[in-house]
Amino acid sequence: MAAASLLGPSPSPISSPRRLLPSSLRLSRAPPARFRRSFAVPAASSSPTSPLEALIFDCDGVILESEHLHRQAYNDAFDHFFVRCPSSSSSQPLHWDSDFYDELQNRIGGGKPKMRWYFKENGWPSSSIFETPPSSDSEREKLIDVIQASKVGAFVDWKTERYKDIIRSGSVEARPGVLRLMDDAKGAGIKVSVCSAATKSSVILSLENLLGLERFQSLDCFLAGDDVKTKKPDPLIYVTAAKAATGAGMSCIITYTSSTANQNFSDAIATYPDLSDVRLEDLILLLQNALIAAS
């Protein structure tokens, strides 16, 4: 799940947790309805004249459309290590097609959990790392570490490094409207944060290349999958960022990507193909209307 959130002050008074009002908006490349979760974070109110305290962006799906890049890096890693699952009738390395990966990345957050879930469901694979499928927990973790993002012996960060190579190539740009919206928010004194379930090193590289070093270093909060115990679709990373921004509860605004264009986002406050025509004033108005509707 990818998202960018608008955080505003909690309405006052609040008589009980059940009456927390949707005083923020989340711009989101969100999962199907069965994976979505609603949540609220109470916080102290800021200036009563401004309902907007912070924007919290997700990286994948909002700042950049990256699903196909991650999928390419996984498949290149599977090919490099000749990863083959026993449930497959093919003699070729494991390959995740786009339809399957769209479902997988909306179901399981983070690279290692994705592979761990897949191998549990389809059998632990043989590979050039282990000639026979790993049988112990330590061997299975080593397999995932080598493929994904940890230095183990002679193997170094293969999938993550492959993804970084793609980002470094200069062929990837931020999605339309993102940089302008960030700059407008910072200019208005609104906090800007980024959350991502991906490995911190790969997110830092992505943000430095896509946002520019100055914009990245000016972020008020930056959280990666390494920083929270449970990954998306669990909302912990957003809850943590919202607390850091002293923001209140979140409601969704959806920005479509190629993998979510046909999904149901009826619970969202608004949907957009991208942020190219979305102004900061538009988001503030949506937030104000949400507060009025919930009061």
Pairwise CA distance, residues 54 & 277, whole Å: 20
Three-state DSSP class for 254?
A: strand
Pairwise CA distance, residues 200 & 222, whole Å: 10
Q: Residue for token digits 């469901």?
A: 121
CA-based angle 46:51:56, to the nearest 5?
Answer: 90
Three-state DSSP class for 24?
A: strand
Whether 60 is a known active-site residue: answer: yes
Beta-carbon contacts of 140 under 8 Å, excluding residues fewer than 6 positions away, are 116, 119, 124, 134
| Beta strand residue intervals within 196-263, DSSP E | 221-223, 251-255
Whether 99 is a known active-site residue: answer: no
Pairwise CA distance, residues 250 & 292, whole Å: 15
Of the CA atoms within 13 Å of residue 5, those in its CB half-sphere come to 37
Q: Which of 58, 157, 183, 184 is catalytic?
A: 58
Centroid of chain to Cα 280:
21
Q: Which residues of 3-17 are buried (b: 16+ CB within 10 A; e: fewer)?
A: bbbbbbbbbeeeeee
Enzyme catalytic residues: 58, 60
